Amino acid sequence: MLKNELTRIIYLVVYDRVPSYQLALESPQVSLLHPYHSKKIIMDLLLSFITFTATISCFLFFGHLAWIRSGANYTSSKGLAKTAPEAPGSWPIIGHLYLLSGSQVPHKLLGSMAHKFGPIFTIKLGVNRVLVVSNAEMAKECLTTNDRVFATRPKSMATELMGYNYANFALSPQVSYWREIRKIVVLELASHHRLQMLSQIRASELKSSITDLYKDWKTNKGSSETIKVDMKQWFRNLILNMTVRVIFGNRFSPGEQKEVEFKKSIRWFSELLGAFVPSDAIPWLRWMDIGGYEKKMKKTAKELDVVIEGWLEEHRKKMNSTQHVDEREEEEEAFMSALLSRVKELKKDLFGFSTDAIVKATCLALLAAASDTTTATLTWGLALLVSNPVVLKKAQEEIEKHVGRDRMVEESDLKNLVYLQAIIKETMRLYPAGPLSVPHESTDDCIIGGYTVPKGTRLFVNIWKIQHDPEIWEDPFEFIPERFFTSKKEIDVKGQHFELIPFGSGRRICLGMSIGLKSLQLILANIIHGFEFKNPSSEAVDMTESPGLTNLKATPLELLIAPRILPDFNLVPP
């Protein structure tokens, strides 16, 4: 396939540059099928292919040698500590990129390498040097002492094509731009005041989804008194509906075709965002579009933009036609409207971006991040509870003690559900939603673990490996929520304890941490309070992980469900 693509492209290059070929194609008297012309073209194409390949190979090979020597040259010229050791097995040109094409997910692969090479080492992904840190001490050095140095993000084709040319603030390499938009996001979405205002939306969407689930059971239960439900998909639909309403102020109608297409595009967006794209590692390969990533990204970006542009236009018209906003309207104001107003108020040049690009990119970034990470954690959490029925029973008993059997769990109840909180902590420890964190890039030289890290080095913090460190966590691969009442009682997930950093830490810590924790606790509490769950198979629940930026369960979570106390909830209108 690659050879055919190269041949085709080189043919076009030669065809464009050699007039006789163009004449042969245009003139009916001269046919490329003639033996002479056919042989000449084939020979010329072959020569061009060999020359092209040899040139690029030499260029990349000597570039590879220069990359290897750069660490030593830098060290000797600066007289500083040596660079972190490079893992063996690097191939010319592609480096360690071939390792990522295997069946093992990247965080476990790099975790195995850390077991062999230590908690700090480097790998080479094409032209990019990547520092991999795999214990709490090294992570703390990167995200506290050197937090400013690692505050930026590396550029990628996904951020360019699907992030409105780097207007996605969460992945933007422009630190000053990220800082400005971050202020607005914190104020309008992540502040305590805004969280309280949005609580009614979360409760309303959750109630609606649980009501639909109960109706579905009532209609399809049959003689078994249970129905089979893919809870991974159920969580995804709920979170997306909840997030779309918070950010855009819209709600899809049941069965709406627009919803189906939008959800599919969001799924593609998340998958492509976390893909290892060959041209990100070796920029000279972009023209070949190996794997068709560029084509897929452009298509996905266009599909999402059509929907988001429509919502933006609705908010703009509403703002222009409304002279006065009363208190109730302000509380129900979607994040997109608030963001649009704030961006217009900025006194700066918007860092080269248009107002529309900033608003659309920011809303899309928040939507994708919230929907994927929350869905992943809820799916893993319920899978772990079904696999550990004793823990599930204890969680249900705690909820009944503090809530009773005649109503849904409310946000005001969550502070009393300490065992549920421990379950969510343990779920995020075992299956962090972002197991490798989002990549960072150094903007200056720094020292990590006694090693010199040159400017331009990318950083992977292996959160999964840190949270499975046997020197910190007893029985690190076991699901033991009780550990957070004993030896790990003081550890939380808010970025201050580097043994447990599922939301990251430092300047680039996840802004949705507060709203994410609220949503996780509220949804998981209500679903296990209202329903009983059972594995339909005699085999253990499949806990296979998927590659990508977000650690989603690779397979559906199909469970048999039946109500526990839902008929008493008075959820379904008469």
Annotated binding-site ranges for heme:
510
DSSP 87: P
Tell me how far apart the alpha carbons of residues 370 and 202 are, in angstroms, rounded to a whole number.
13
CA atoms within 13 A on the CB side of 411: 19
DSSP 152: B
Asked if residues 392 and 528 have their Cβ atoms less than 8 Å apart, the reply is yes
Asked if residues 259 and 233 have their Cβ atoms less than 8 Å apart, the reply is no
Asked if residues 457 and 463 have their Cβ atoms less than 8 Å apart, the reply is no
Q: Tell me the backbone φ, ψ of residue 132, rounded to 5 degrees.
A: -115, 120
The structure tokens 């190979």 sit at: 57
Q: Show the CA angle centred on residue 434, arms to residues 277 and 444, nearest 5°.
A: 70
Q: How many other C-beta atoms are found inside a 10 Å radius of the C-beta of residue 20?
A: 11
Tell me how far apart the alpha carbons of residues 572 and 92 are, in angstroms, rounded to a whole number.
64
Tell me how far apart the alpha carbons of residues 87 and 118 are, in angstroms, rounded to a whole number.
10
Asked if residues 447 and 80 have their Cβ atoms less than 8 Å apart, the reply is yes
Q: Can you say which residues are annotated as belonging to the binding site?
A: 510
| Per-residue three-class SS string for 48-117 | HHHHHHHHHHHHHHHHHHHHHHHHHHHHHHHCCCCECCECCCCECCCECHHHHHCCCCHHHHHHHHHHHH
Q: Tell me the backbone φ, ψ of residue 451, rounded to 5 degrees.
A: -105, 145
Q: How many other C-beta atoms are found inside a 10 Å radius of the C-beta of residue 472?
A: 17
- Residue 124 DSSP SS3: strand
- Say how far residue 352 (Cα) sits from the centre of its chain: 26
In 54-168 the beta strands, taken as DSSP E runs, fall at 120-125, 128-133
- Residue 560 DSSP SS3: strand
